[in-house]
A and B are shown apart, each in its own frame.
Chain A
Amino acid sequence: MASTLISAKLPPDVDPTKAPIAFGRRALPKLSREIQSPELLTQQRALMALCDLVHDPENVYQAVQIGFLENLKTLLLHHDSTVRQKTTEILYIMAMHNVGRQGLIQNAVIPVLTELLDDPEDICRKNTHQVLDMMAKLPEGAVDILHAGLIPLLVVRLKTESDEIQELILGTLSNCLRMEASEALATDAITILKEKLTHPSATIRNKAAQVILEIGTHPEGKSTVCEEVIPLLVSLLEDTDPEVQASAAGALMFATIKPKGRCLALRAEAIPRLLKLVAVENSKARLSAIKTLTMLAEVAEGRRKLLERTDIFQQCLRDPSEAVKRAAEIAIRVIRWKPF
């Protein structure tokens, strides 16, 4: 019986590890069938082919339409590591597009991803965390992650995982905690984050400061942050990396809303460092610094110190960024406010 292979030598640009892709619209349904086949090699080849196809958003849409995600969910728990790795990679690429993200939410993929957090393979775990990170950027995704109870697990893993994965976890946490911080506080996330604030890697310090910022937006988080973290944050204001400085200023912005936080920050000599930050190029750092100084100006002691330095704020009134200008006006107003 003749086979379709005419010659024993394959064409030079065909990858033998990938399944051949059908033409046009039939590609994805065929791959969907192949994925469900009992043979391991077929599954792997189909997954490799799919991995290449999902870079195209139209294919993502079609995949979601024909219910690919159900199959992928089953495959997430496959015993073979290559299958799992490829599946998570596919999910990550799908999550990079909004259609994919919506599909992931509708098909409730996130609870299944919880199982993969303990995967023995590094790549699988990294891809899983990448998926979660992408999903957290969407508000519904963040809510989904919160409902799946992933926050305590993620906080625990902050201690054990490698640096790359820690960055991803911190990103996920910062987006999720924007919604609600109580679970994280219950699992004592602040202690772990304090350690991360002194981590050698600048990205991790940056992201840890951002997580603390998000925790500080909630009232119960503010008190915890006030008590423990303010001195560290003030010391981070002089960090070598400008991003870290900006994030630390942002976290301080929220921590100094409460009077207790303000006193602690004043005692930790935050004002001179913040004044230095106001002249920095990074607009985020400037904005956060001005806002923090506004908070500190609510206290009489801070006002006294800042009355001497209002010239800096006058300079900021001519800033290119609109938000910085507004913030500078508000700051000047607060500094000049008198009780009578």
Chain B
Amino acid sequence: MLPALRPPPSAASAVPYTYCSPPRAVPARPKYRAPLEADEPQKEPARWANLMYDRRVVRGNTYARQAVPTCIHHPNAFEIQRRREARRKALARKRAEEQIQLRTPEPVEGREHVHVQTELYLEEISDRIIEVDVECQTDAFLDRPPTPFFVPAKTGRDVATQIEEGELFDFDIEVKPILEVLVGKTIEQALLEVMEEEELAKLLAHQRAYAELRNAELAEVQRLEEQDRRYREEKERCKQQQMEMLQKEKETMEKIAAQAFAKRYLTDLIPSVFNNLHESGFFYDPIERDIETEFLPWLMTEVEETLEKKTLGRVMLDSLIRTVTEKRLDVFSQKPLPDQVEAPAEEHRPTDNAPQVAAETEAADQAVTADEETDQPAAEDQASHHITFQSEEANQEAMEDSETD
């Protein structure tokens, strides 16, 4: 950076002295440049280094430049950079020279032309102090050189050995177990996977077979149960039917027995009933009944009447006889006769047998008339009885009556 022109000294009196670049303490230069990845230059706390120990400050006398020892054949980077700059300038100069067409002769074999600037070695003596503006530019930062590989110092003895083939191990034998393990594990894994599925499939098949059998057996069991139930029901029903049948048989037998007994009991029923009825008079001959109910009572009443008549007659006769007898007694009291006693006795007797005596006495009288009326002998007897105590007229009247009757 070229310095700016110095301000005119006229202005210096009013303005205090200013530096072009104010003096400042020079901060220590870091040995290495900032790392690449840094976004901005790190603001390190400025370390003020001692000027005396700053590398940028040239030590010693400035009037005699120190010979910088250069080794052309092993240049370091510093030198390389300087060389590069020098080469650039040289090229520029060369071009300028070429333009001027000034050529120096080519170097002799074995030698080379080296541009040497004698400026370094020249010194101009003058009062005027040579002022040279020197700009100092820090060198470009270099990469941190890689850590040198640390090789510890060798200790011990070097001993060499060589392993021949076949000494250490026999690969084929040794690799076997490893291979076995590897292959075995792989196959095991594969087998596991396959077996898992196969196991499942087998289990399922087994289960299905078992289920088949089980179902078949269960069905058989249930069928037999059903059959058994049916048979049992059938048996029950049969038993029931049988019992009913027995019951019915018993009843029938009883019925038959009862029937036989009843029949036998009642065989006589009808005859006996009829007999009873007959005897109690339910069945009657109507003529007979008629005769019995009407004729005979009438007959009996007639007979009674007749008999009453006869009795009356006899009673009348008795009373007549009595009166007669009493009269005769009265009469005979004066003259008691045994004939009269016999006479009433005889008369009594005939009065008792009046109907018969009368019948006998009057038999001759009535023989003719009696024969004519045979159906009423009793009535005629009575009539004749009536006739006896009455007068003969009366008798005749009675006879006429009886005849008319």
Chain A interface residues (CB < 8 Å from chain B): 55-56, 96, 137, 213, 217, 250, 253-254, 257-259, 283-284, 287-288, 291, 294-295, 298, 323, 327, 330
A55 to B196, CA, bound (A): 8
**Interface segment out of the listed B104-112, B213-221, B241-249:** B213-221
B218 neighbours in A (Cβ, 8 Å): 217, 254
Task: Give chain B interface residues in 214-264, CB to chain A under 8 Å.
Answer: 215-216, 218-220, 222-223, 226-227, 230
Partner of A55, one of B193, B222, B223: B193
**Are A250 and B226 in touch, CB under 8 angstroms?**
no
Using known A-B contacts A287-B212, A323-B213, determine if residue A258 contacts B226 with beta carbons closer than 8 Å. Answer: yes
B213 neighbours in A (Cβ, 8 Å): 323
B215 neighbours in A (Cβ, 8 Å): 213, 217, 250, 253-254, 288
A39 to B244, CA, bound (A): 87
Contacts A/B (CB < 8 Å), 21 sampled: A55-B196, A56-B192, A213-B215, A217-B215, A217-B218, A217-B222, A253-B216, A253-B219, A254-B215, A254-B218, A254-B222, A257-B223, A258-B226, A284-B212, A287-B216, A288-B215, A288-B216, A291-B223, A295-B219, A323-B216, A327-B220
At the interface, yes or no: B277 with Cβ under 8 Å from chain A?
Answer: no
Contact residues of B: prevailing secondary structure: helix
Q: For residue A96, which residue of chain B has the nearest CB?
A: B200
A150 to B227, CA, bound (A): 36
Q: In angstroms, how far is the closest chain A Cβ from the Cβ of B166?
A: 34
Q: Which 10 A-B pairs have the closest CB atoms?
A: A253-B219, A284-B212, A257-B222, A291-B219, A287-B216, A257-B226, A295-B223, A291-B216, A257-B223, A323-B213
Q: For residue B200, which residue of chain A has the nearest CB?
A: A96
Partner of A294, one of B200, B207, B223, B230: B223
**Are A254 and B219 in touch, CB under 8 angstroms?**
yes
Apart from A253-B215, A257-B219, what 11 extra A-B contacts exist at CB < 8 Å? Answer: A96-B196, A213-B215, A217-B218, A253-B216, A283-B212, A287-B216, A291-B219, A294-B220, A298-B227, A298-B230, A323-B212
A253 neighbours in B (Cβ, 8 Å): 215-216, 219
Partner of A291, one of B193, B208, B220, B226: B220
Chain B interface residues (CB < 8 Å from chain A): 192-193, 196, 200, 207-208, 212-213, 215-216, 218-220, 222-223, 226-227, 230
Q: In angstroms, how far is the closest chain B Cβ from the Cβ of A170?
A: 14
A330 neighbours in B (Cβ, 8 Å): 220
A208 to B18, CA, bound (A): 110
A194 to B215, CA, bound (A): 21
Q: For residue A253, which residue of chain B has the nearest CB?
A: B219
**Are A327 and B216 in touch, CB under 8 angstroms?**
yes
A213 to B208, CA, bound (A): 14
A217 neighbours in B (Cβ, 8 Å): 215, 218, 222
Q: For residue A255, which residue of chain B has the nearest CB?
A: B219
Q: In angstroms, how far is the closest chain A Cβ from the Cβ of B45?
A: 28
Q: In angstroms, how far is the closest chain B Cβ from the Cβ of A9?
A: 23
A56 neighbours in B (Cβ, 8 Å): 192
A258 neighbours in B (Cβ, 8 Å): 226
Q: For residue B226, which residue of chain A has the nearest CB?
A: A257
Q: For residue A291, which residue of chain B has the nearest CB?
A: B219
A327 neighbours in B (Cβ, 8 Å): 216, 220
B193 neighbours in A (Cβ, 8 Å): 55
A258 to B192, CA, bound (A): 49
A295 neighbours in B (Cβ, 8 Å): 219, 223
A330 to B220, CA, bound (A): 9
A213 neighbours in B (Cβ, 8 Å): 215
A112 to B226, CA, bound (A): 42
A284 to B207, CA, bound (A): 13
**Are A298 and B223 in touch, CB under 8 angstroms?**
yes
Q: In angstroms, how far is the closest chain B Cβ from the Cβ of A24?
A: 14
Q: In angstroms, how far is the closest chain B Cβ from the Cβ of A201?
A: 19
A259 neighbours in B (Cβ, 8 Å): 226, 230
Q: In angstroms, how far is the closest chain A Cβ from the Cβ of B147?
A: 19
B227 neighbours in A (Cβ, 8 Å): 298
Q: In angstroms, how far is the closest chain B Cβ from the Cβ of A336?
A: 15
A284 to B209, CA, bound (A): 8
**Are A137 and B207 in touch, CB under 8 angstroms?**
yes
Q: In angstroms, how far is the closest chain A Cβ from the Cβ of B201?
A: 12
